Amino acid sequence: MVAPSNDVSVLLDLSANNRDALATAVIQMLTVSSCGEPAAWDDGLDTVLHNLSAGRTVGGGHGKQNGSFSGQFRTNATKIIIVISDARPNHTLGCDYTPGVDYAFVSGLAEEAYTRGIHLATVFVPTTGADAYGFVDTITSIMSGMASTTDGMFLRTKPDASDLASIIMSIVDSCGVGGGLIVTPNEMVLSNGETGTATVQNYRPGRDPSTLVYDTSGVPPDFTVKFRKATPEVAGTDQRSMDITVGPDTFAGAYAVQVTAGRAGFAAVQSAIVVVYVDCVPPFILGMPGNQPASVSVKSGSAAQLKVVSNGTSAFRYQWYVGHTGTTAFPIAGAITSSYTTPSLTTSTEYWVRVTNPCGSTDSASAMVTVTP
């Protein structure tokens, strides 16, 4: 089944002994641009779960269903539905995603799949279009949540989907069942520049754990993630320590970091999510003596030393200026630390400093350096 141009097209019903028909249907599978981002993949899932018929309106009113689906899973079969997309769902409103409503719709479908013993294997294709729209985190959250609800698998292809075939094969080989990779803790609260360590336990390492490649996706550009080999706490498993360091420029917020384990050249077949909450406090300067730059007097031809003490989340950046607080016309080149030594002065001059971190900035009070004979 495919969802081209916001339509749902049933290429083959679910039936026994249809291997040749399946091969023909696979060749016919294609997709073309929808009316934009998002797309009607959620309506395709709805069709399979509820045996819906041709002619109905889908894609938030911008598409239709071509072909009917009436197939039934065999009672004792392993039941897998594979969802592949580079976009958010759009069941309710035209060519747009309705926060909360569309998420509730696909979450409800996932809950229903779980009660019927169906695993959802969701595959995100991070195309340049998906990245350009800026919805990668949202799509990842939706699709990984659906897989988690059904004890299924959430996987991510290369941007050009060149590894999609191997990913589908890995889903079939593992019967669409996720798990096997456990991250503890699965939530961290870190500040900028701070490092947190989690334990990654792999309960399905295969015959040769030394060939496993651990990786992460969904991390901000200035995050640093390192994996260290550890002694397994459970015999027969593979264990790594994962160090996550938050960069100096990461904004406050929650980041869903996907941890994967696979083998070089093959699709990752195990994944887990750890949520990193970046707690960032904007800089502030206390008014107590010693925190703000202090006004001083110096003899003509002498220099003065000024300093500021800032509070809040670390990774502060400083820029000193000549003039009254808020006047940015005269930045001082190279004056980018918490202290500043003026040049030799012959006239009284005001100075101030702006302190910045990823959450904001604050300006100090002005310090007057008074020059005396």
What average pLDDT does range 3-20 have in this prediction?
A: 82
Q: Are 236 and 204 in contact (CB under 8 A)?
A: no
Report how many domains make up the chain: 3
Give the least confident one: 84-93, 128-137, 181-190, 212-221. 128-137
57 part of a folded domain:
yes
Do both 102 and 127 map to the same domain?
Answer: yes
The mean pLDDT value of the chain amounts to 88
Residue range 91-99: mean pLDDT, rounded:
77
Indicate if 11 and 126 belong to the same structural domain: yes
**Percent of the chain beyond pLDDT 70?**
93
The CATH number of the domain holding residue 237 is: 2.60.40.10
If one compares 99 and 259, the residue with the highest pLDDT of the two is: 259
Per-residue confidence band for 90, with pLDDT thresholds at 50, 70 and 90? confident
**DSSP β-ladder status, 253-263 and 212-217:** antiparallel
Same domain, 7 and 86: yes
Where does a domain end: 234, 253, 280?
280
Q: How far apart are CA 93 and CA 301, in angstroms?
A: 71
Q: What are the tens digits of pLDDT across the range 283-320?
A: 999 988 899 999 999 999 999 999 999 998 777 899 99
Q: What integer is the mean pLDDT of 126-136?
A: 77
Strands 367-372 and 296-299, sheet pairing: parallel
- Among 136, 156, 177, the domain-final residue is 177
The pLDDT tens digits for 106-119 are: 999 999 998 998 98
Mean pLDDT of 249-277: 81
Nearest to 258 by CA among 107, 153, 108: 153
* For residue 360, pLDDT beyond 80: yes
Residue 339: which domain range?
Answer: 296-372
Residue 129 sits in the same domain as residue 139:
yes
* Mean pLDDT value of segment 212-220: 89
319 with 335: CB under 8 angstroms?
Answer: yes
pLDDT value at 266 more than 60: no
CATH number at residue 160: 3.40.50
Question: Would the pLDDT of 1 be above 60?
Answer: no
Q: Which pLDDT does position 2 carry in this prediction?
A: 52
Task: Choose the weakest-confidence range: 46-50, 76-80, 148-152.
Answer: 148-152
pLDDT for 7: 86
Confidence tier at 167 by pLDDT (50, 70, 90) = confident
* 73 and 136 share one domain: yes
Higher pLDDT, 270 or 307: 307
Q: Is residue 277 scored above 60 in pLDDT?
A: yes
Q: Report yes or no: 329 and 251 within 8 Å, Cβ to Cβ.
A: no
What local confidence, expressed as pLDDT, does residue 355 receive?
Answer: 95
